Amino acid sequence: MTRLTMLEIGGLGFVRTVRPSPQKLRGDVCIIVEDTRSNVIWFWVGSSVRHDLRRVAQAKAEGIGREGYRMGDAVIGGGGMPLVVVDQGQIDNPETAHSFSSLVALLEEPMDIRSLNSPQGTFIFAELQAGAGRQAAVTKGKPSPAPWPSPIPAAREAARQPAAEPAIEPPAARGTRFALEAALMAILRVHKEVHIEFKAAGDIEELNIEAVDGLRHTIKRHDGRMTFKWDPKTPKELKDLVALELKNLAR
């Protein structure tokens, strides 16, 4: 079996598996793809990803390739799988463009989606259909350019310019550690400097956030639900941004 696993990485190192698709290669995320056919770990870095998120996510990607990451009975990566970095901010570099086209071609192959329950959540992965594609030769951790096509213009442009999303209200029932972190990362895009107090008791987690402009917010996760207590002066753009991040988690 040739397994393909796609993981989205949060700023505190939390991971979740998502359905493999080239549409997941957006400008605001870090993505890891375990490719057992070529025996490499692909690491996508969106052009608008914050430096601190990239640093944490790349360390996580390297660790997955080196030691592996366990989800239930499954182990993702491990065995010293080499890392191939695809940096959207360097997409005009020929080597990066080639790696990007290779990754897109891989994600567009016919595949069967599978899912398993694990203590960390639902483990989603894909099985590439037999004979549906070509194996990338790997030299010093990078796919050889010979077997792969040139960059796909439409997919390349889609990666540069993520589609606009309508604003939504933050749903309460998005109660995962990753959702808590996604909300925090969205807040940090608006409030560049904040003081964060994290509290945890049993299955209750609470983030108290105070921005330098005096605004205070509280996010609480309990029993699979998230609740928000916004400062009365919170700008609408911040609420919309958090709502959008939570909506993206459902994809």
Residue where one domain finishes, among candidates 160, 187, 207: 160
Residue 168 included in any domain: no
State how many domains the chain has. Answer: 2
Residue 31 included in any domain: yes
59-112 per-position pLDDT tens digit: 889 989 999 988 778 889 999 999 999 999 998 999 999 999 999 999 999 999
Q: How many CB atoms lie within 10 A of CB 188?
A: 18
> Is the same domain home to 47 and 139?
yes
User: How far, in Å, are 37, 56, 118, 139, 228 from residue 44 at the CA level?
Assistant: 18, 13, 25, 19, 31
Residue 165 included in any domain: no
Residue in 161, 154, 150 with CA at minimum distance from that of residue 47? 161
pLDDT band, residue 223 (cuts 50/70/90): confident
Residue 167 included in any domain: no
Residue 119 included in any domain: yes
So what's the pLDDT on residue 166?
Answer: 36
> Is the same domain home to 39 and 150?
yes
Residue 166 included in any domain: no
Contact 175, 250 (CB under 8 A): no
Residue 63 included in any domain: yes
pTM score of the predicted model = 0.56
> Is the same domain home to 183 and 146?
no
Residues whose CB falls within 8 Å of the CB of residue 130, separated by 6 or more in sequence, listed in order: none
Q: In whole angstroms, give the CA distance from residue 158 to residue 26.
A: 8
Q: Which domain holds residue 191?
A: 177-249
- Could you tell me which residue, 206 or 146, shows the higher pLDDT? 206
Residue in 73, 49, 78, 64 with CA at minimum distance from that of residue 14? 64
- pLDDT at residue 50 tops 70: yes
Residue 172 included in any domain: no
Contact 11, 185 (CB under 8 A): yes
> Is the same domain home to 193 and 155?
no
Residues whose CB falls within 8 Å of the CB of residue 248, separated by 6 or more in sequence, listed in order: 165, 182
- pLDDT at residue 169 tops 80: no
Residue in 28, 38, 47 with CA at minimum distance from that of residue 2? 38
Judged by DSSP in three states, 90 sits in: helix
pLDDT band, residue 133 (cuts 50/70/90): low
- Mode of pairing for the β-strands spanning 3-9 and 15-18: antiparallel
Q: In whole angstroms, give the CA distance from residue 71 to residue 121.
A: 8
> Is the same domain home to 182 and 142?
no
Residue 192's domain is classified under what CATH number? 3.30.160
Angle subtended at Cα 175 by Cα 207 and Cα 10, rounded to the nearest 5 degrees: 70
Percentage with pLDDT > 90 across the chain: 29
Percentage with pLDDT > 70 across the chain: 73
> Is the same domain home to 151 and 181?
no
- pLDDT at residue 41 tops 90: yes
Residue 146's domain is classified under what CATH number? 3.40.20.10
Residue where one domain finishes, among candidates 104, 133, 160: 160
Residue where one domain finishes, among candidates 113, 130, 160: 160
> Is the same domain home to 111 and 31?
yes
> Is the same domain home to 142 and 23?
yes
